[in-house]
Amino acid sequence: MSLFTDISIPQLNITYKQPLGLYINNEFVASSDHKQIETVNPATNTVITSFYAASDADVNTAVTAARQAYEQVWSKTSAEHRGRLLHNLGQLIVENKELLAAIETLDSGKPYYTNALADLDQISQLTTYYAGAADKYNKGQMIPISHEKYAYTVRSPYGVVAQIVPWNYPLAMASWKIQGALAAGNTIVIKPAENTSLSLLYFAQLIEKAGFPPGVVNVLPGLGAVTGSSLASHTDVDKIAFTGSTAVGQKIMALAATSNLKAVTLECGGKSPAVIFDDANLDEAVKWTTAGIFYNSGQNCTANSRLLVHESVYDEFLEKFTKYAQEEWKFGSSLDPFDESCTVGPVISKAQYDRIQGYIEHGKSQEKLSSKEIGSPVESEGFFIPPTIFIDVTAESKLAQEEIFGPVAVVLKFKDYDEAIALANNNAYGLASAVFTEDIRKANFFARDIRAGTVWINSSNDEEISVPFGGFKMSGIGRELGESGLEAYTQTKAVHVNISKL
């Protein structure tokens, strides 16, 4: 099999050359065992192409390359120069924005105009942020001890870091990790999700073009059970960062612990509540919460999939929510994510389609819940699921407790603040939350009392690249973005300086 193939995207009149190999030491290479993975267009259920999958031996080769690059070159590269290279990368991202977004749409099914292009805007902003942060935030502290002694601290990079990213935001989640780790001075071995590897493989070419030395960034597509497990257990990897399901995050943490106790950052699942009080601006709440659950076909860890609505405005909110969703959240006329009218794309795969449909059928047949579908089911080979709302759901419902990871909202009633906060916290997850109220005191009480890593007041799912992001409880460990996204890839070294004479 060739290391490159031509791929056409006729909707945009684009034909480009897609890398198919593992990216190690600034070169695309075949995997050692020549195993491959097919990637499928979820809008049509047709094969796009196949690419090489990394074996244990390939992981070892990439880690060795990253270690050599760190010891010989990257650890001796100034923070100013790292920032300059990230600036170069940011310019290349802008120049290749439309193509990178098109690859994301082709491979993941996310709407091109309303979703994929927005992802690239955030990636560009994030890269510029870390380009400027490289020589500014990685500072230590001087600590006076006595007249004859002082100490200072140094924020030291870990060295070789492994990163594993999910399929719902293939390039965005990779960039959250890559840019911060590079700014901090680490070298990287990163594994994209097996069903959305194309954009990161193409992106690797931009890393080389920006001027990053060989071995600083290595991209290893492959199966989680092989490539992911090998990275998590490799004894020459100093840190691993993972975004994905809680179940897999637990396995990553266990492998890290039983190998070399490598540092771990985990961003896992969520079942985020959005609480709508009786004094909320309902029109604003509807706009934010429909986007919060139906954007990216509900395939967001922070999706506000639990809507907790005060009983006095429950019926009015439901009516407005349903009407607005029908008007704004659509597959588009041609069931094509490249269609400008498309705001809801297919879910990622047949397995995910079946999983979401299983929850929907459970809610209808087992729990006898009332539901509303936004639009009608469609006849398609692709994996399209109409936005769905379950009403009058109980707190104990499977649909209210488990992460569905699809365009499915569940709506619950509450009577007062105490019940609202109890319901909002009644879940194993704690990634994000939202509250809608015109009462500033109530909003601040909620921010204080909710057990979640992010709180949005009168908005939802509008994260900022300069603000820390991460979860409580089963939603993960550590923070990304902002200064935290750089600090996560450093550890503190304390230096004691004695200037006394014996």
Which residues does the annotation mark as catalytic? 267
Q: Are 135 and 80 spatial neighbours (Cβ–Cβ below 8 Å)?
A: yes
Residue 98, exposed/middle/buried by CB under 10 A (0-12, 13-18, 19+)?
middle
DSSP-derived 3-state class of residue 107: helix
CA distance 52 to 29: 9
DSSP-derived 3-state class of residue 158: coil
**Which amino acid appears at position 212 of this protein?**
F
CA distance 272 to 454: 10
Q: Are 134 and 81 spatial neighbours (Cβ–Cβ below 8 Å)?
A: no
**Which amino acid appears at position 416 of this protein?**
D
Beta strands in 338-453 (DSSP E): 370-373, 388-391, 408-414, 429-430, 432-436
Whole-number Cα distances in Å, 81 to 85, 88, 144, 176, 490: 6, 11, 31, 20, 18
* Residue 360 CB contacts under 8 Å (≥ 6 apart), including other chains: 371, 385, 388, 408
Lookup: tokens for 388: 């769905």
Task: Give all strands of the β-sheet with 187-191 in edge-to-edge order.
Answer: 27-29, 22-24, 217-219, 187-191, 160-164, 239-243, 263-267, 476-477
